[in-house]
């Protein structure tokens, strides 16, 4: 199975990019691609801490869309990498608004997968008038059940990955893996912190695909990726995403009038389909596409095809009639 699929639009280069300082500690890397006069679309990456890549530009018709991408606090080319201080969901929402204001955009389509879908929902509920609609993949609502599933439940399907995930954790600490990782990720021992981030990131990367993709897993083991994912995912889990329990479902009425397409892998072990099902049923008028031959990753062929179809349907004004 190829990780790059034919329906994606061709590779393209940004026509503009830059660094946006958002406070005394954090700067954000951002870029724009496609049509400068086109309909704005905001891409929100996963993780937290995952960062953007050139592949993410390819879900959108560059002749039609003004494509805006950025690395969230502590991720990718934003600095400092893996920085968890002054890094919360409300701050990320404020960052999006700062970027939107800087770029002179009134409204945009919001596209996000996994944690990017979480952030898309939180942003939309905070600023519904700024959103044209949503394309969401691999739904994660940041509930305690979902966090517990990630830490313990995924071993039901990926026991070897989970065994490696806990290998450096003493038996007496394995009853609370999040606290065990907190002590290592945010402790004073730098080498231990980096190793813990690698272990966490490798665990997630091992569980993403329905079919194995060793070349993708190797990317999760690189410090430039692992430090963002390992530290920031744990940080956000420790604080329940800086939201109240089930907040995104309870506040869905704030954006229920807006169109939404939800794309979900049937065999997504990282973010099981029940969350997408709950979101769909809470959101009248949303469209749910369960992809029969996909796990969690955006670049699996069925999922990538459905995501491109969603952006094309939005362009053609057919998906939301």
- Low-confidence stretches of the chain (pLDDT beneath 70): 1-6, 215, 318-321
Show which residues are catalytic: 114, 268, 296
Predicted local confidence at residue 221, as pLDDT = 81
Whether 132 and 166 share a structural domain = no
Predicted local confidence at residue 220, as pLDDT = 82
Predicted local confidence at residue 164, as pLDDT = 97
Whether 237 and 262 share a structural domain = no
Q: Is 16 helix (H, G, I), strand (E, B) or coil?
A: strand
Among residues 207, 241, 275, the one where a domain terminates is 241
Domain assignment present for 7: no
Helices (H), 112-256: 115-126, 144-151, 159-166, 177-185, 190-206, 214-220, 223-238, 247-250
Domain assignment present for 10: no
Residue among 317, 315, 259, 299 nearest 65 (CA): 315
Q: What is the CATH number of the domain that holds 121?
A: 3.40.50.1820
Predicted local confidence at residue 5, as pLDDT = 47
Domain assignment present for 271: yes
Domain assignment present for 69: yes
Whether 259 and 156 share a structural domain = no
73 and 86 in contact (C-beta within 8 Å)?
yes
Among residues 203, 223, 241, the one where a domain terminates is 241
Whether 27 and 66 share a structural domain = yes
Whether 104 and 42 share a structural domain = yes
Whether 252 and 211 share a structural domain = no
Among residues 182, 216, 241, the one where a domain terminates is 241
Residue 288: CB atoms within 10 Å: 18
- Which residues share a beta bridge with 261? 135, 287
Domain assignment present for 257: yes
What phi, psi does 165 have (nearest 5°)?
-60, -35
Whether 25 and 172 share a structural domain = no
Predicted local confidence at residue 318, as pLDDT = 45
Whether 116 and 211 share a structural domain = no
Domain assignment present for 9: no
Whether 28 and 115 share a structural domain = yes
- The residue range of the domain holding 124 is 16-142+244-316
Whether 71 and 97 share a structural domain = yes
Predicted local confidence at residue 235, as pLDDT = 98
- Per the structure, the count of domains in the chain is 2
Whether 35 and 82 share a structural domain = yes
Distance CA 72, CA 120 (A): 12
Whether 125 and 258 share a structural domain = yes
């Amino acid at each position: 199975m190829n990780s790059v699929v034919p329906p994606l639009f061709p590779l393209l280069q940004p026509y503009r990019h830059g660094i946006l300082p958002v406070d005394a500690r954090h700067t954000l890397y951002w870029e724009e691609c496609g049509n400068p006069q086109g309909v704005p679309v905001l891409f929100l990456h996963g993780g937290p801490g995952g960062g953007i890549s050139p592949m993410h530009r390819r879900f959108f018709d560059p002749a039609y869309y003004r494509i805006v991408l950025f690395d969230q606090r502590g991720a990718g080319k934003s600095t400092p990498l893996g920085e968890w201080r002054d890094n919360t969901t409300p701050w990320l929402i404020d960052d999006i608004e700062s970027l939107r204001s800087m770029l002179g955009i009134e409204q945009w389509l919001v596209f996000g997968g996994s944690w990017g879908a979480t952030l898309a929902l939180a942003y939309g509920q905070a600023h519904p008038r700024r959103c044209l609609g949503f394309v969401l993949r691999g739904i994660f609502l940041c509930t305690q059940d979902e966090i517990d599933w990630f830490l313990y439940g995924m071993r039901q399907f990926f026991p070897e990955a989970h065994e490696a995930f806990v290998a450096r954790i003493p038996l007496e600490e394995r009853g609370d893996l999040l606290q065990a990782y907190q002590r290592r990720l945010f402790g004073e021992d730098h080498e231990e912190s980096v190793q813990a981030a690698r272990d966490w990131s490798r665990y997630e990367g091992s569980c993403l695909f329905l079919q194995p993709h060793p070349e993708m897993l190797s990317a999760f083991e690189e410090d430039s990726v692992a430090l963002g994912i390992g530290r920031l995912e744990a940080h956000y889990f420790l604080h329940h995403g800086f939201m109240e329990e089930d907040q995104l479902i309870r506040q869905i009425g704030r954006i229920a009038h807006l169109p939404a397409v939800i794309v979900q892998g049937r065999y997504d072990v990282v973010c099981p389909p029940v969350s997408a099902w709950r979101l769909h049923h809470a959101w009248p008028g949303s469209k749910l596409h369960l992809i029969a031959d996909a796990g969690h990753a955006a670049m699996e062929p069925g999922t990538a095809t459905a995501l491109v179809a969603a952006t094309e349907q939005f362009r053609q004004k057919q998906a939301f009639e």
